[in-house]
Amino acid sequence: MKIKGHLDLFSGIGEFSLALQRAGIEPDWIGYSDIDQYANQVFKRRFPNAEELGSITDIQPKDLPKIDLITFGFPCQNLSIAGKRKGLKGSRSSLFFEVMRIIRAKRPKYFIFENVKGIFSSNKGKDFDIILQSIAESGYDGQWQLCNTRFFGLPQNRERIYFVGHIRRECRPKVFPIGEGSSKNKKAQKINNNPQYARTITTAQAHGTAKHMSYIKEKKGLRQIGSIGKDADATRVYDVNGISKTLKGEGGGWGARTGLYEVKSAALRTFPRESNMTKEEKKKRGKRLELRDDDVANTITSHQLDSIVSGQSRIRRLTPKECERLQGFPDDWTDGCSDTQRYKQCGNAISVPVAEAIYKKMYVL
């Protein structure tokens, strides 16, 4: 399906644009705006024909082509419960009004934004009222829902508000409820029925060697099994048989961004090929075990065969690749950046399958 231009504001690593692509929607033009140079590098590499527009405060609507869709996840630091709760008066979250400046000038058919659920309670709910008033005064109506990523095929406990705005008095589809709102009647949205993205965290998976993934059942949820030292956000340890905690773009401490997980280390079982075994060796076949630190098998020869089996446990945080998977990106979407930047980019991103589901309802696909 073809549409006019798509303006991706606070574009990050291109999650809204990737979801649009996956939904089969092709814009005539893509423009993107972000001040994070590393995120811009990823966006440009993944969408080489897109136009980089710089900071949102520098964008002049008269210089832009016709736009049908504007997407954005404006900075949430001043709205988050974890922040100082300055609300829309904060220097970062106040950039919402820069978005509305462009929306009023370009009059897109739709706009979508994502933000933390703290937007509902910021300044005792007054900030969300201001947002609704600004949207209404710009000639738009809207619909919204608090969506949890775990109901869209991704094993991550991530609650975010998604808002769809549309020009008043024009025909528009009913987008919400989706995901958990419709899960009572449409079980296909649940994690255990959509295992494409719902992969457990394993050492083999981290190294890219696992061919068969286990899938997480929705009912298990987020399961804390302990902590390293004093219990805190950065020290809590979770069971890999549950979903992951919310990924964060910022945060101090070793496990603050991803959480810590108890993961089974691999052990190496070495034995000769059966054709070369004596009867005595066949009886002892399952008893010879050699533990390794690197989880890498020895060279396979014609006389012996190595296999990786479950062994001891160790505690570690998620890898950047696992964080990409938990947000619905292809493996190595953020490669080329340092691990620090990759963690930040994934933590700041929206969950791609949620946006994809919204597009399919908006455009009745």
The verdict on residue 247 lying in a domain is no
Domain of 13, CATH number, reads 3.40.50.150
Q: Are 180 and 280 within one domain?
A: no
- What is the count of structural domains for the chain? 2
The verdict on residue 14 lying in a domain is yes
CA atoms within 13 A on the CB side of 24: 8
Q: Are 52 and 112 within one domain?
A: yes
Is the model's pTM score more than 0.85?
Answer: no
Of 213, 202, 222, 240, nearest in space to 150 by CA: 222
Distances 304 to 152, 301, 314 between C-alpha atoms, Å = 44, 6, 28
Distances 51 to 17, 66, 106, 345 between C-alpha atoms, Å = 13, 14, 17, 20
Q: Are 21 and 164 within one domain?
A: yes
Q: What pLDDT, on the 0 to 100 scale, is given for residue 284? A: 53
Q: Are 166 and 302 within one domain?
A: no
Pairing state between β 26-27 and 260-272: unpaired
Q: What pLDDT, on the 0 to 100 scale, is given for residue 250? A: 79
Q: Are 68 and 15 within one domain?
A: yes
Q: For 239-265, what is each residue's pLDDT tens digit?
A: 888 889 999 987 767 788 998 998 876
Q: Are 119 and 10 within one domain?
A: yes
The verdict on residue 255 lying in a domain is no
Q: Are 20 and 135 within one domain?
A: yes
The verdict on residue 49 lying in a domain is yes
Rounded CA gap, 364 and 209, in Å? 39
Indicate which residues carry an active-site annotation.
76
The verdict on residue 60 lying in a domain is yes
Q: Are 111 and 161 within one domain?
A: yes
Q: For 143-157, what is each residue's pLDDT tens digit?
A: 999 999 989 988 899
DSSP secondary structure letter of residue 48: T
* Torsion, CA 183, CA 140, CA 47, CA 328, rounded to 10: -20
Q: What pLDDT, on the 0 to 100 scale, is given for residue 362? A: 93
Cβ within 8 Å of residue 119, ≥6 positions away: 76, 79, 127, 128, 131, 161
Domain residues for the domain of 148 are 2-191+351-362
Q: What pLDDT, on the 0 to 100 scale, is given for residue 45? A: 98
Q: Are 268 and 178 within one domain?
A: no
Q: Are 99 and 162 within one domain?
A: yes
The verdict on residue 244 lying in a domain is no
Q: What pLDDT, on the 0 to 100 scale, is given for residue 124? A: 82
Q: Are 64 and 162 within one domain?
A: yes
Q: Are 356 and 307 within one domain?
A: no
pLDDT tens for the chain, residues 1 to 365:
999 999 999 999 999 999 999 999 999 999 999 999 999 999 999 999 999 999 999 999 999 999 999 999 977 554 444 545 455 564 455 789 999 999 999 999 999 999 998 888 888 888 888 888 999 999 999 999 999 998 998 889 999 999 999 999 888 889 999 985 454 434 333 333 333 333 444 444 444 444 333 444 444 688 899 998 888 888 899 988 888 999 998 776 778 899 899 887 655 444 454 555 566 655 554 444 343 444 444 443 444 444 444 456 788 889 999 999 999 999 999 999 999 999 999 999 999 999 999 999 999 76
3 state DSSP class of 293: coil
3 state DSSP class of 88: helix
Q: What pLDDT, on the 0 to 100 scale, is given for residue 291? A: 38
The verdict on residue 340 lying in a domain is no
